Amino acid sequence: MFDHITIPENGEAISYQNGHLVVPNNPIIPFIEGDGIGIDVTPAMLKVVNAAVEKAYGGDRYIAWMEVFAGEKSTQVYDSETWLPEETLAAFKQYKVGIKGPLTTPVGGGMRSLNVALRQLLDLYVCQRPIQWFTGVPSPIKKPGEVNMVIFRENSEDVYAGIEFEAGTEAANKLLRFLQDELQVNNIRFTQDCGLGVKPVSKQGTQRLVRKAIQYAIDNDRSSVTIVHKGNIMKYTEGAFKNWAYELAKQEFGAQTVNGGLWCQLTNPKTGKEIIIKDVIADSMLQQTLLRPAEYSVIATLNLNGDYLSDAVSAQVGGIGIAPGANIGEQIAIFEATHGTAPKYAGLNKVNPSSVILSAEMMLRHIGWFEAADLLLSGVSGAINAKTVTYDFARLMEGSTLVSCSQFADCIIEHMH
């Protein structure tokens, strides 16, 4: 059925029925190894997940991994022009749950991001990035234990949609003329060499993201949802995001305005506790998360803000080497590391594999394999507590033992209890 993807004979497809995933004991899970350090972290992740599943279910359950291709490896397996084969997209559509390593995006020219393309083509509109501190991880802040945020980043709109026109091209000039002649825009400073980007933000796109963020707060007994935006400057995109978010909280979740202001609160139907819905302007939020992290729990924000914020907050809990993520749509989810391909470390068996391993932990919970997910978490905590860590933690952790990427995976497995 596929040209270059081998379907494992010992596995069955996950399906989606009546609004729920139906997961067999031997699910086929597609994975993309990834460029750069993908070659280091992805095998480490596969080994750790297999060990956790084996330990949790003693052979009654296992994952039938199925490699699918994107990025540089795809150009070797298919042909030099094929970066994201149709059959890779078809596999994610068919098998519903997947995981990926990082993929390279050249700066300033060449192809657009394959990572963003996957999210857009499969409409994985939620980018969920939980950021939590593991005891013992070196941090630049005094109380990293106060950092416990889950970022819901809108994943399909904003400047990330890639509607851009290069300076000097016919398209850019045409759009400039339209802006000036038809819309009377007269504050573009250097029209002769001006690139243009369009930032689409819709009510539908905003509200489907915010709905997931509020529902997450309800399901996980979280105290607040903070809408992060730059609406003072970008009124009809980021400002509208804020307004549509509050509107949704009130209309769909029955939130009531508090203190006569914009903020509102709703009663969690599962716990009876109050959940505050508030908003903070994006630049201020970057200092808030450093100075008062305990006041922030669930965060709902636009695509670019979420990209910046997730790396910045990750730095407080040890860096992007340990921060996991997931791209989630109505039926399909692809779990992925927060970091990129870190090319200078590629193939050195050096980097921290925790980001993609903890992304796999999210994936195990997503398919309902909680016992394996818990084992995986205990393994990561145990390895860090034993101070057997990769270079990124070792350089900040006194008395630690430096281990390689693959050795760290083995340490995680040793500490799974």
Ligand X SMILES: O=C(O)CCC(=O)C(=O)O
Binding site for ligand X (CB under 6 A): 105, 113, 115-116, 307, 338
Task: Choose between 209 and 248: whose C-beta lies nearer to ligand X.
Answer: 209
Residue 198: which of 239, 160, 143 has the closest Cα?
160
Q: Which does 285 bind (CB under 5 to 8 A by kind): Mg ion, ligand X, ligand NDP, none?
A: none
- Which residues, 281 to 310, sit near Mg ion by CB under 5 A? 307
**One-letter-per-residue 3-state SS of the chain:** CCCCCCCCCCCECCEEECCEEECCCCEEEEEECCCCCHHHHHHHHHHHHHHHHHHHHCCCCCCEEEECCCCHHHHHHCCCCCCCCHHHHHHHHHHCEEEECCCCCCCCCCCCCHHHHHHHHCCCCEEEEEEECCCCCCCCCCCHHHCEEEEEEECCCHHHHCEEECCCCHHHHHHHHHHHHHCCCCCCCCHHHCCEEECCCCHHHHHHHHHHHHHHHHHCCCCEEEEEECCCCCHHHHHHHHHHHHHHHHHHHCCEECCCCCCEEEECCCCCCEEEEEEEEHHHHHHHHHHCHHHCCEEEECHHHHHHHHHHHHHHCCCCCCCCCEEECCCCEEEECCCCCCHHHCCCCCCCCHHHHHHHHHHHHHCCCHHHHHHHHHHHHHHHHCCEECHHHHCCCCCCEECCHHHHHHHHHHCCC
What gap in Å lies between CA 106 and CA 114, rounded to an integer?
10
Name the residue nearer to ligand NDP (CB basis): 108 or 260: 108
Catalytic status, residue 123? no
User: Which of 160, 216, 246, 345 is flagged as catalytic?
Assistant: 160
Catalytic residue, chosen from 57, 199, 283, 311, is: 283
Which residue in 42, 88, 115, 237 binds ligand NDP (CB under 6 A)?
115
**Does residue 105 belong to the site contacting ligand NDP (CB under 6 A)?**
yes
Annotated active-site residue 283? The verdict is yes
> 73, 96, 212, 230: which is the annotated catalytic residue?
230
CA distance 197 to 166: 9
The option from Mg ion, ligand X, ligand NDP, none interacting with 341 (CB < 5 to 8 A, set by class) reads ligand NDP
Q: Is 236 a catalytic residue?
A: no
> Pick from 103, 285, 300, 362: which binds ligand NDP (CB under 6 A)?
103
**Using CB under 5 A, which residues numbered 241 to 270 contact Mg ion?**
none
Q: Shortest approach of Mg ion to residue 181 CB, angstroms?
A: 38
410: annotated active-site residue? no
Report 329-348 residues binding ligand NDP (CB under 6 A).
Answer: 336, 339-342
Report residue 203 as tokens: 């009510």
Closer residue to ligand NDP (CB): 124 or 320: 320
- Residue 104 lies near ligand NDP (rule: CB under 6 A): yes
Min separation Cβ 338 and ligand X, Å: 6
| Cα–Cα distance for residue pair 76/137, rounded to 1 Å | 38
Query: Out of Mg ion, ligand NDP, ligand X, none, which partner does residue 116 contact, by CB within 5 to 8 A per kind?
Result: ligand X
The yes or no reply on residue 116 touching ligand NDP (CB under 6 A) is: no
> Which of Mg ion, ligand X, ligand NDP, none does residue 415 bind (CB under 5 to 8 Å by kind)?
none
Total residues in contact with Mg ion, by rule CB under 5 A: 1
Residues of span 137-166 touching ligand NDP by CB under 6 A = none
How near is the Cβ of 35 to ligand X at its closest, in Å? Answer: 10
Exactly one of 35, 279, 307, 392 is catalytic; name it.
307
Our finding on whether 154 is near Mg ion (CB under 5 A) is no
Q: Which of 206, 17, 24 is nearest to 214 (CA)?
A: 206
Question: Shortest gap between Cβ of 305 and ligand X (angstroms)?
Answer: 12
Q: Which does 206 bind (CB under 5 to 8 A by kind): ligand X, Mg ion, ligand NDP, none?
A: none
Under the rule (CB under 5 A), what is the footprint of Mg ion?
Answer: 307
Catalytically active residues are 160, 230, 283, 307
Residues binding ligand NDP (CB under 6 A) = 37, 41, 102-105, 115, 319-321, 336, 339-342, 351-352, 355, 392
